[in-house]
Amino acid sequence: MTSAVLTQSPATARPRLVSRALLLRFVSIVGSSIGFFLPLSVVPIFAKQAGSDSGAGFATVALLLATVAAELVTPRLIARIGYRWALTVGLFLLGAPILVLTATNSMTAIVVVNIVRGTGFAIVAVAGGAVTATLIPAERRGEGLAIVGLVSGVPSLLALPAGVWAAQRWGCEPVFVVTAAATLLALLSVPGLPRRDRTRTESQHGVLAGLRNSALTRPALIFTAATAAAGVVVTFLPLAMLNGPAWVATTALLVQSTAATAVRWFAGKLGDRHGALRLLAPGLLLTALGMASMAALDSPAAVIGGAALFGAGFGVLQNATLCLMYARVPAGGEGTVSAIWNAAYDLGMAAGALGAGLAVGAIGYPATFLLTAALAVPAFAVLRRERNPR
């Protein structure tokens, strides 16, 4: 009787979540996060020190545009050379080129290096995301992706300010060397990942086919509404608070990113138990309420509380939309999902920042934040058309 109670049937046992292969994948996740975020704000500083104020912004734009363009073609690269080789190429392109900036500060070199690095980051994000999806049991995908988000989120959260601090203390060149070292050392983990070479499914379900599949584009569009709002927050909340206490904007951004990272964990566990589709409406509602609350710029409590609500909603939507999209493709289609989701992330943030930049001058910051909150309305219209996949 006792043994029957204590022994769990294999049929009811939950599959193991963290495997040796997933731990190895964490190494490349941390390496690529450091490789992207550590110099992200340092390169514009480097360009400004070289005497080009406009070049500082242009370098970042070049990085982001190259990232989005490469994300859309990476699934075809995966189909040709496989996940491991694609991840290897991406890590090399992300890390090695920045060493060029230790020898020259020409604006041409800065822009070219950023274009190459953006391409590398896109390949790492798409190919790495596809590999990660294959390493997580489908029954625990939400929880697994939440852990992955934590592994990537903490280094990026720390690396961005650390890069600026180190550049101010020791100069930009040491930051570039550390960036290259962290990224290239992550290459050592790639051979330990499972071999996934030349998948016919990936080539049959490329980005163009994925964009014609409404089961993928609907979650991506819903997520785009949230990322557009995130672009507004990270770009214009500090500017909106310039005449107020300096600590409010900093605290709000920290609270927002922390809430997003933490809530992804709970969202993943809930999604595994009850279905990710049920989380989309609460996620959208939280992001809208958070944006509307941040419009009360005269109230630090409203701004910080709104940032917490927005971060929570954003974390929910990050996890739920990605889980839904992975569940709706056959094996081998993970690269397509990763490409579309990452493109929605980057394009949404860029579009939100651009649109808000045009609106702020005409209607001011509070009205712009309220208008951004209203993006939830068309997103809810898309959500109404969502149906559980067969």
Q: According to the model, what pLDDT value does residue 216 have?
A: 85
Asked whether residue 101 falls in the same domain as residue 177, the answer is: yes
Asked whether residue 180 falls in the same domain as residue 248, the answer is: no
Domain-ending residue, one of 189, 208, 234: 189
Residue 205 binned pLDDT confidence (cut-offs 50, 70, 90): low
Residue 278 has pLDDT above 90, yes or no: no
pLDDT in tens, 133-158: 888 887 787 778 888 888 888 888 78
376 occurs within a structural domain: yes
pLDDT in tens, 10-63: 445 667 777 888 899 999 999 999 999 888 878 877 887 877 655 666 777 788
Asked whether residue 184 falls in the same domain as residue 204, the answer is: no
Domain-ending residue, one of 189, 208, 239: 189
CATH number of the structural domain spanning residue 222:
1.20.1250.20
Closest among 387, 368, 379, 247 to 328, alpha carbons compared: 387
Asked whether residue 357 falls in the same domain as residue 292, the answer is: yes
Asked whether residue 204 falls in the same domain as residue 97, the answer is: no
Asked whether residue 100 falls in the same domain as residue 37, the answer is: yes
pLDDT in tens, 80-129: 888 889 999 999 999 999 999 999 988 889 989 999 999 999 999 888 88
246 occurs within a structural domain: yes
Asked whether residue 185 falls in the same domain as residue 204, the answer is: no
Q: According to the model, what pLDDT value does residue 201 have?
A: 46
168 occurs within a structural domain: yes
Asked whether residue 170 falls in the same domain as residue 222, the answer is: no
Whole-number percent of the chain with pLDDT over 70 = 90
Whole-angstrom CA distances from 266 to 229, 270, 317 are: 22, 6, 12
Domain-ending residue, one of 169, 189, 209: 189
13 occurs within a structural domain: no
Total number of domains constituting the chain? 2
Asked whether residue 142 falls in the same domain as residue 230, the answer is: no
Which structural domain, as residue segments, surrounds residue 330? Answer: 200-390
Residue 336 binned pLDDT confidence (cut-offs 50, 70, 90): confident
6 occurs within a structural domain: no
350 occurs within a structural domain: yes
Residue 335 has pLDDT above 70, yes or no: yes
Asked whether residue 176 falls in the same domain as residue 205, the answer is: no
Residue 6 has pLDDT above 50, yes or no: no
Asked whether residue 303 falls in the same domain as residue 171, the answer is: no
307 occurs within a structural domain: yes
The answer to whether the predicted template modeling score (pTM) of the entire model surpasses 0.85 is no
Residue 7 binned pLDDT confidence (cut-offs 50, 70, 90): very low
5 occurs within a structural domain: no
Asked whether residue 175 falls in the same domain as residue 299, the answer is: no
